[in-house]
Structures are given as structure tokens and as C-alpha cells.
Amino acid sequence: MDENNHKKNTQQSKLADSFVIGQPSSQKTSATQDYTLPKTKRYTLQQELGRGGMGVVYKAYDNILRQTVAVKIIQQCDARQIQRFLNECKAMAQLDHPNIIKFFEFGVEPKPYFTMEYIGGKTLKDVIRDKKLNYVSLMNLMIQICEALSYAHKHNIIHRDIKPENIMITADSKVKIMDFGLAKMFDVDDESLSKTGDIVGSIHYMPPEQIRGEVCGQSDIYAVGAVLYECLTYEKVFRGDSQVDIMYQIFEKTPTPPHKLNAKISPYLEAICLKCIEKNVSKRYKDFRELLREFRNLKNNKPILAKKYSFQLQATNFLKKHYHVLVGIIFCTMLLTIVWLLQADKNQREQKPRSRTINDTTKNHREQKPRSRTINDTTKNHREQKPRSRTINDTTPNRQKAEKHLAKGEQYRNQNMFKEAIVEYSQAIRLAGKGWHLYWKAYRSRGGAYSQENQHEEAFADYQKSLEYDPDNCYTVFARGILFQKVGDDEQALKDFSKAIELAESTLQRPEIMRDKGKTKIFIKGLLKILMSRAKIYMELKKFDLALVDFERYSKFAPKKPNVYYLQGMARKNLKHFGHAIRNFQKAISLGYRGKEKLNKEILSCKESLEKFINLATQAIEKSEKPQAQLYITRAKCYRQVQKFKKAIDDFNRAIALSPFTKKGRLYLDRADVYLSLREDKQALLDYKLIRKSYMKQLRAEQKEMVQLRIRNLEKRVQYNQK
């Protein structure tokens, strides 16, 4: 063991010495000027291929093996970058797969470098930018990517940085996975955040657990799903002005379904994509073998896990599979039909002379019938048709007039000329007639005009009349709710707002609405208006928890509205959730909220409130004759929000000692989270293991999953640190 440690220390010392040769330049330098390998003279650098945060990749010629290679030379000089460089070498050295770049040689002089096979072609990023992906080629690419990563995972290597830039595509459409610089092996540090707090990896392709530092094999599945999403829509899953904004969306937002960005997308490929990028790890594919099987099944028109096949698609696939047989059957059927028709025509010609005699006999008999019957029938038909034609002639002009009166009423209403509008709406109602959509629409519009004129009884009567003909119209129900709110009946207003929200949501799920982007936008806009109205009533009634639910639903549809985050912050502040309130206010500022000074005062107020809570809790603890667990819990949570973690640990310790068994599970979970904030991995691991052993029944399903995941990752991290 001592000998191994000595060798390891010697190697690290040698690597550290090699890093003092030159500092990275801010300008692009010549390959031959700064990055030759004078001691071996083996490689002639020819061209810079790419440059990243850790190193530069060059196209080079191997003078010994007489072949073109790629050389990666490290740029940075800190120990962490050295470790990542070694990780990449170790990972690539273990992998030998046709869809993974081959590793050749590692060296340390004059700077650490390694060589790998040179691939001519484009990155997937280039292909996406050119928008040259079709369905078949995309399926083939995804199958190759999954084969490569399935192989890597089988060898206990998680890539952790899958993105279009790290996927090469050769001229013959062969995939090559590159850049294992962030790959995680079981004996390597497993942190997604560096000690400086910077995110290690590409934020657009990182799942929530990777941002938290909890990486598993399904993290790569999420990244592949994010890449697939970009291939399908030419947009990233989440877009934002900053990393913080994107991180927030990754944790809180639901991705836009790809078909809304590209209507031509296969619903089955979309379903696979969305299953890959589920926030909950357990809802994703369990491994790359399952995902690979899914892509192959879809390619071969077989059922997939992500979405059941429709009858229409099954029929289409059947037709494709048995096309030639069906064409033959159709041809034979047509041929037999033609033969039958020809034979029938021949038989008819033979029977004509025989039937002519019969016709001559009956002709005279028919001519002798009274001609007056024909005249009477004609007169009767004429009399019957008169009223019908009169109705048609009367209805059409009336409805046209009704439409004109309704349109004129809307014009008056938009100009705040409500009395004139009421007159026009009344004319529209008189002319429209029951059973026509314009009839109830005119009642609703007149109700709105009456409401503006403060003629509340007439307004209620018109809304009621409109709802008799169209009881499921969310706009009419919402309008009546506004009227209830206006007359001070908040309870009835809330009932109408809630019903209007249900109606709007069910309407949005109707296929004809979902297919029409214009109608979808209109209904979402209406839904947001209703949500905001209900939330504001909840705020007035001091039902802040219910208001918060509506504000959060609103922000899912409109994530860029700063005012919504301000209102969320106010609701949370009133609920005494000061830490969350501060984050909401900061989000509103980042989105350009106009009252920045007001929000800064709110943030300061929240921080002062936290300190005040700490002081009050301290006083209560000191005055209490008997120690109370809840007081320590309250103070511990406040300490955590102001980042006084050690004091939070002390209070959680006291609370755990004072609490009954049924309450301890959640407290151990809170304490473990604080240990993680302090980077005390061993203590956090002990708490999570204790929870797994004795308190799992006290936790929710997602908390249980989180505990299991953190135990796995912390065990690996602690094991590595001990080595």
C-alpha cells in the first residue's frame, strides 16, 4: 500500500511540475509556436480543431505510425483540471467501441496530453444548425448513441457531458462519442459543483439531480433526451438569460411538448423524448438497454413503452408491411368486377326485345289515367313550398342584421359608450332568434355592458340567460364571477372563477383546440386572466397558500412575467416562508421588475424577519420551563436560511432528542441536508443510512427516492476521499 501511494505521489508531482511551463494565452496562438513536443518529435501539430475550458485539440501527424491523429493538450494549471484530464484518459482507455473515439497514448511532456483517433466529419451541433436531419437518419443516430453509452455504462463509466458538440458524425453517418473529461467512474470525485460553486457540465443538458451533485446512469439518459429534443425542435429544452434562470426552469418548469414547436414530429418519438427528460429519475428509462430497445422497436414499427400505438398507426404499418399483397388483391378484385359488369351488360342486351313487348302493352293503360292528378299534385307541392321559402327568406336577412347590430354594439362598448351598446345588443337578441350562437353571445355582451353601467340585476339576468343556452362557456362564467366580485360576494366569485378554470382547462385538452395554435393561445390567455383574478381574491381573504398555488400555475404558462414572481414573493412572505420569498423577489428583479427599490426593501425586510424570528425563538427557548422541540426546529430552519449551518445543526440535534419517533425521520433529513451544505459527507451519509434503516415509512415517495440516490453517491464520494 505504501509503495502504491509513493508511486501515485510521484506521478502527481511530475504532473504538477509539467504545468509550470507557460501560462495559457488569451489570444489564439500558432500550433507550432507554443505546442510542439520537442522531446519525442513524434507528433507534428497541423491544425487547431477545438478549444474548451480544459484544453485544446489539434489535428496532428504521428511520425512513427504514419497516421493522422487528434492530440488534446491541457491548458489549465490547477489540480482539479489535472484530475479531470486524468479522468478522461482513464475513461477512454477502458473503452473500445465503434461509436466511441479510440484512445491511443498518454504523455506528460512538455505538458500533459493524450492522442486519440482523428475523425473527419461534423458535430451533431453543426447538423442541427444546418437543419438537415430527417426521421430515418435521426433514428439511426440515436440508436448508435445509445449503443455507445450502454457500452460505457456497462463498464461503470457515466459520461455526464453529453451534448451535440460532443457527438461527431462521420461522412458515412457513423456516430463517435467524444470528450470524457467529466466522466464519472466509481473511484472518481462525483461533484457537479466545483469548490468555487461553478457548475461542471453543460447546463442545458443537465438533469435536476446532476445539478444537485447526485449523478446516476439515468442522468446520461436525460442528456440524450435533451439532445433528441434539440434535434426534433431545433430549440433547447429550456432557454434563459442566465444559468440561474435555466436551473430554475430545470427544477420547476415542464418542457414545451416538441410538437408545439414542430408539428411534423412523430408523436411516438416525442413520447420517447419526454420520457427521457422526466424530472423524476424513476419515470425515465431505467438504462440505455431499455432506451435502445425502444428506438429499435419504433424504427421497426413495433409497440413502445412511452406511448401506446393507435389503430390508425397500426393500420398504416400493416399496409406498409403487406403493400404488394394488398395491391395484388385489389387488382384481382377490380378484374373480377370488370368481367361481371361486361357479362351483366350482355344479358341486358339479350333481354331488351322481350321487355319491349310488355312495355307497349302497359303504355296504353297508363295514358288512360286522369291527367288531373298530375295537376293537383303540382298545385299541392307549390302550396307546401311557399311557407318554407318564406321562412328561409325571413331568417337569413334577420341573422345578417343581428350580426351587424352585435358588431356595432362591440364598437360602442370598446369606446365606453355602454348605453348605446345595450341598444345594439338588444336589437341583435330580437333578430337572432333562439338556438343560434349569436343569441346567447349577445346576452353575454349585453350583460357586460349592464355591469359597466352598474345595472347589476339586469347584468345577472343576461348572464343567466346566456348560460341557459351555453352552460359550459368559461368566458360567461368568468364574467359573472367578476360581477359577483364587484358587488362584494367573494364566495360566489370564487365559485365562478374555479368553475371557469375547470372549463378552460378541459377546453384546452380538446383535440381541435390543441391542433390550433391560435385558439390555444387565446384560451391560455383567458385561463391566466382567471387564475390571476382568483389569486388576488385569495390574497384579499388572506388565503395566501391558495393564492400561491394559482401564482405558481400562472408562472408555468408565463415564466417571463416579473409581476407574478413579485406576487409569489408577497404570498410567501405572508406565509413566513422568507427564504423562498427572497428568491422570488430576486427572480422578479432579474426579469426586469420596474419597482426594483421596492423589491430590495422587501428582501431586506425578509432577512430582518428571519433574524427577528431567530431572536424570538431564542427568547422563547430561554423562557420555556420545559424544552420544546418545535422551538428548536423553527430556529434551526431560520439559521439554515441565513446560512448559519453549524448553529442549525446544533438546534436540529436538540430537536431530534426531544421529538417522538414518528417525527424524527423528517428532522434527520433536514439535518442531513445541512451537513451537505457544510460538505460533511460522512455525517450526511450516516443520517441518510439511519433514515433508510428506521424512518422510511415517515417519508413521501419522492423523498424516499432522493435518500436512496444520495446514499449511493455519497458512498462513492466518501470511498474516493478515503483513497
Which one-letter DSSP state was computed for residue 62?
E
Q: Is the pLDDT of residue 389 over 70?
A: no
**What's the pLDDT score for residue 353?**
54
Distance separating alpha carbons of residues 26 and 31, to the nearest angstrom: 14
**What's the pLDDT score for residue 231?**
95
Q: What is the amino acid identity at position 483? A: L
Mean pLDDT across 1-6: 47
**What's the pLDDT score for residue 393?**
38
**What's the pLDDT score for residue 383?**
42
Question: Which tens digit of pLDDT belongs to each residue from 517-572?
Answer: 788 788 888 889 999 999 999 999 999 999 999 999 898 888 889 999 999 999 99
| Matching residue, cell 495559457 | 24
Q: Sheet holding 43-51: strands in order across?
A: 43-51, 55-62, 67-74, 113-117, 103-107
Distance separating alpha carbons of residues 419 and 450, to the nearest angstrom: 8
Lowest mean pLDDT among 228-232, 245-249, 717-721: 245-249
Between residues 717 and 508, which one has the greater pLDDT? 717
User: Is 395 strand, coil or helix?
Assistant: helix
Selecting from 3.50.50.60, 1.25.40.10, 3.30.2090.10, 3.20.20.100, what CATH number does the domain 432-604 have? Answer: 1.25.40.10
Question: Which tens digit of pLDDT belongs to each residue from 280-315?
Answer: 999 999 999 999 999 999 998 888 998 875 545 555
Instruction: State which fold the 122-305 domain adopts.
Output: Transferase(Phosphotransferase); domain 1 (1.10.510)
Lowest mean pLDDT among 187-196, 338-347, 663-672: 187-196
Question: Which tens digit of pLDDT belongs to each residue from 356-380?
Answer: 544 554 444 444 444 444 434 444 4
Cell numbers representing residue 559 in the block: 415564466
Question: Which tens digit of pLDDT belongs to each residue from 250-274?
Answer: 887 889 999 999 888 889 999 999 9
| Topology agreement, domain 122-305 and domain 629-722 | no
Q: Where are the domains of the chain?
A: 2-24+32-118, 122-305, 432-604, 629-722
- Given a contact cutoff of 8 angstroms between Cβ atoms, the answer to whether 109 and 37 are in contact is yes
Distance separating alpha carbons of residues 88 and 80, to the nearest angstrom: 13
User: Is 434 strand, coil or helix?
Assistant: coil
Q: Sheet holding 175-177: strands in order across?
A: 121-123, 167-170, 175-177
- Given a contact cutoff of 8 angstroms between Cβ atoms, the answer to whether 502 and 486 are in contact is no
72: annotated binding-site residue? yes
Cell numbers representing residue 653 in the block: 440535534
* pLDDT more than 90, % of the chain: 35
**What's the pLDDT score for residue 468?**
87
Distance separating alpha carbons of residues 441 and 458, to the nearest angstrom: 15
> Is omega for the bond preceding 110 within 30 degrees of 0, making it cis?
yes
CATH class of 629-722: mainly alpha
Question: Computed from CA positions of residues 259, 261, 262, 263, in that sequence, does the dihedral angle turn out positive or negative?
Answer: positive
Q: What is the amino acid identity at position 88? A: E
Distance separating alpha carbons of residues 198 and 194, to the nearest angstrom: 5
Q: What is the amino acid identity at position 663? A: K
Q: Where does 103-197 show beta strands of DSSP type E?
A: 103-107, 113-117, 121-123, 167-170, 175-177
Cell numbers representing residue 82 in the block: 489535472
Instruction: State which fold the 2-24+32-118 domain adopts.
Output: Phosphorylase Kinase; domain 1 (3.30.200)
Mean pLDDT across 471-478: 90
